[in-house]
Amino acid sequence: MRKLSKKGQSLGGLYGGILVVASIGILLALVMFILSSMGTSFQAQDTAESVANETGFANTTGYTLTKATEQDFASPVITALYNRTDGTSVGVGNATVSAVGVVTNATATVWDNLSISYTYTYTADTESSTATGTLIDQLVDFLPWLGIILLVLAAGVVLYFMIRSFSSSNRGV
């Protein structure tokens, strides 16, 4: 019986493995996109909120309200202004608030110790949007492990072909 000699190793089987890994990557990106879109749709739009007695100031340069960093912060309205030093009311008309939450005073009077009460709207997170956000964060935390897994798989393929080529070689003594 004649022994067949394999002169070269075929990398044809590697194509299927690469295709599977690429498919998993594309599927993971698609799932993350869908989860991100779902999380945004689960949020409560135009949620009304009020803040009482935030410490701030009013001058010509302006003071940015603390809650102005909320997602989709809009429609701020000052409901009360008090001078914290002497407890007197400062007329609401003496200060203005911009759409981005900056309180200014157009007059020469500077109030450096104000108690500011206001209302605004924003986009609030719900339990569902928080859950999808957590899931996305966990998937993103897994991505570095995916690189390690791919590296180990690549090393396994190289070792497989090396061992296969050495085991099939003829050894003459």
Task: Kindly give, in sequence order, each residue whose CB lies less than 8 Å from that of residue 73, ignoring residues fewer than 6 positions away.
Answer: 67, 100, 101, 120, 121, 122
Could you tell me if 129 and 82 are in contact, meaning their C-beta atoms sit under 8 angstroms apart?
no
The upper half-sphere exposure of residue 137, i.e. CA atoms within 13 Å in the direction of its Cβ, equals 7
pLDDT score of 87:
83
Q: Which residue has the tokens 């393929």?
A: 157
Percent of the chain with pLDDT over 70: 88
Q: What is the arrangement of strands in the sheet containing 96-97, beginning at the earlier edge strand?
A: 63-64, 102-104, 96-97
pLDDT band at residue 15 under the 50/70/90 scheme: confident
- Whether 8 has a pLDDT exceeding 90, the answer reads no
Mean of all residue pLDDT scores within the chain: 84
**More confident call, 75 vs 2:** 75
pLDDT at residue 58, as a whole number: 86
Q: What pLDDT is recorded for position 173?
A: 52
Instruction: Choose the weakest-confidence range: 49-53, 95-99, 156-160.
Output: 156-160
Region 48-69 average pLDDT: 91
Confidence of residue 132 (pLDDT cuts 50, 70, 90): very high
Which of the pair, 103 or 147, is modelled with greater confidence?
Answer: 103
